[in-house]
Structure 1
C-alpha cells in the first residue's frame, strides 16, 4: 500500500498504522487536516476484507470529517480511525484499550468517538486509558446519546431538502425509503413517522426490519432494491458508496438525504443526480448533527438544549448549499466541499 499515490489520499497530514501483539490489534488513524483545530472523528470497528479496504475507508472518512466539521462551523479539523476487527469479538474491550493507548500518544492532535461498531459504552472503555475521547455514554444523561443528535440532524437536513424541492415544511404523506436501520436509522425512522411520513425500509437484519415495521407501519423491501422504490425521498443510512454506476440511474426519488457517510461512490455521481433532477443533500452535512452536539464537549460545557439548538442550525446551512447549487447549476456536493475547503484555507492563511 503506497499512501502517497493512493487514489483517496488528499494531502492528509498524518496516517498512523497501529498494532498491538497481545490483542492482535490492527488499526489505522488518518488525520486529514488540522487547520481549524485538533482533528475529530469517530472510531469504526469493522472486519474489513483487506487492509487496503480499511485504508481506503479511513482516508475517505477522515476527509469527510474535515468537510463536516468545517461546514458545521466547528473549531475542529478532520480525522478518523478504523479498527480491523469484528465488533462482536469477545475481547473487544481489550482491543479498544490497546487502541486507545495509540490515540493517547498523539497528545490531543486527534480526538475520537463512536461510529459503526463502537457505541457510547465502548467510548467509555476507550477513555479508561485515553484523555481524548468524546461522545461517551457517561457524558450524557441516561437514555441520551450522540446518535440521537445525528438522527435529529439528518431529520433537520431532510426537512430542509423537502423545503427546497417542494416548498413545504411538513412531511405529511411523503414516502421515504430508509436504507439501514441501525441506531441512527431507527431513530430517523421514528422522527419521520411522527412527522407524518410513510416509510419503506430495508436492512440486512430481519429483526431490525421487523421492529420498525411493527412500530411505525413501514413497508419492508429487500436491501438490494430499496434505492429504486417509488418514493419521494431516499435516505441512505447504511454504509457508503450506495450511489454508484449501478444504482444512480435506478433512483426515482426527487430527494436523496440520509445519514450514511460517503454516499457518492465518485464525484460524478453527484452531477448525474443533478442532471436527473434529483436534489442531493451532501452526506457530511446531513449527518453532522452528532458531531455538532458531542464534539463541543472537546472545548466547552454544553447543555442538552444548547446542543439541540446547534443541531437545528443545519436547516439553514442545508438550504444555503442547495440554493447556491441551484443558482450555479452545480452538484450540491461540490458546492459544500468548496465552502468547507475555503474555510479551512482561510484558517491556514
Structure 2
C-alpha cells in the first residue's frame, strides 16, 4: 500500500489519475463503518481500567478517588493500610483508619460536634448524628432555634416613607407573635409587638402591644388578606405627626406554633410606601388602642417632680433640717441627710 507522499504524486497538477490510483487512495483510510484493527491503534492498553460488573475495581482507581473501602470483616482488611482512607467492615458496619502501624476504630459519636463547611472536599452524612444543638440558619438575617426566631427579616430605605407593609408568614393554625423594631431619622425609635392567630383562612382579633417610642407617631396599624394567595399582611401607617425618614426596620423575636415555614425569611416581605388597594381589609387598630402596661404607664406619668420636692401618687418628701422625710399614707420614714439637686 502506498504511503501519503506516494499518493500525493498521483494527484499532482496535470496528472490524469487512473481507477487504480483512486482505489489506492481510498484504501489508505478507514471508513466510519469499518472496525479499526488493534494493531493500527497506537495506545498502551496495559494502562486501561477493566470493568467488573460494569464498575472499575477500587484497585485500579487513583488513591484520591476511592477514600472509602469496604470489606466483609476485620480479618479481610489489607495487612498494611493507607493513611487518608476509611475502611468499612460491612459485617458489623464499623469504620477504621490506618494509624501507620495498626487499624484504629472510628467512633461515630465523635462526629457529633462537627458540621461540614462550605468548600469541604468530601461529603459527610450526618443523618445518624445528634444535631439537637444546631441552629437553623436560613440566611444572614434568619436564625431559628426550635420555635423561636431572631431577626427574621430586615430592610432599610432612603428618603421619606408614609407606610410599611409586612407580608406575614402565617400558616393555617398558626398562633404567632413578633416584634417590629422601626428606626426613623433623627433619633426616633418605635418598638411594638404584633400578635396574630390564623384560624384556617382568617385572622382572629390581632392585637398590638406597644413597647417603646412615641406611639402617636403611628397613625394606625391595619391587617389585610390577599384574596388571591390567602397571605396576610400588616400595614403600618405614619400619623400626621410623623413620617418615617430614612427608616430601618427589623422583624425580631418571632415565636410561632406550627410550621418551619414561618421562620423562613423567604416567606416574609417588607415594602415601603405600599399600595394595599388590592388587599382585603380585615381590621384596624388606632394608636390609642394599642395595648400597654397601664400600671407602669400611670406610675411613671404621675411621678413627676415639682419644685417642692413632691412626688405625686401620695408620696411627699420634706426636709426638716435633720434629714429627709418620706411620707406615704399615714407613715413617715426618715433618711439621713444627703446632697440633692431637686
Q: Which has the higher strand share?
A: 2
Greater relative contact order structure (CA < 8 Å, 6+ sep): 1
Please say which structure displays the higher CA radius of gyration: 2
Report if TM-score (shorter chain) is over 0.5: no
Q: For the superposition of Structure 1 and Structure 2, which TM-score range results when normalised by the shorter chain?
A: under 0.3
Q: Which has the higher helix share?
A: 1
